[in-house]
Amino acid sequence: SNKIKNYGMSQLNILKSLKDGIKRYNKMEKETGFCKAAFFKLISSLVKKGLIQKAKEGYTLTNKGKKIVLMDEDKVRYLLYANVKQT
């Protein structure tokens, strides 16, 4: 469904943006174009799921996050959405 696609894509875009290393919160927020509240919710959700972690100079992918970024996009979107529904 569109809801799954949109939600998963937002989280996946954040994960992909961290593929190259640590990024500051403000920089990621500007790149995504989300409002502050929506972006905070996305970041919090990814931290809670153990896909990203706060580092000294920003956020970085965890090992779990690195694996997810390499998976098939459709599968990742479903996993991200399904994971949200369980919490």
Q: Which H, E and C letters describe 17-62, residue by residue?
A: HCCCCCECHHHHHHHHCCCHHHHHHHHHHHHHCCCEEEECCEEEEC
Q: Are the C-beta atoms of 81 and 42 separated by less than 8 Å?
A: no
pLDDT grade for 77, boundaries at 50, 70 and 90: confident
Q: Are the C-beta atoms of 15 and 61 separated by less than 8 Å?
A: yes
14-70 pLDDT tens trace: 999 999 899 999 999 998 888 899 899 999 999 999 999 999 899 999 999 999 889
Q: Please tell me what DSSP assigns to residue 71.
A: S
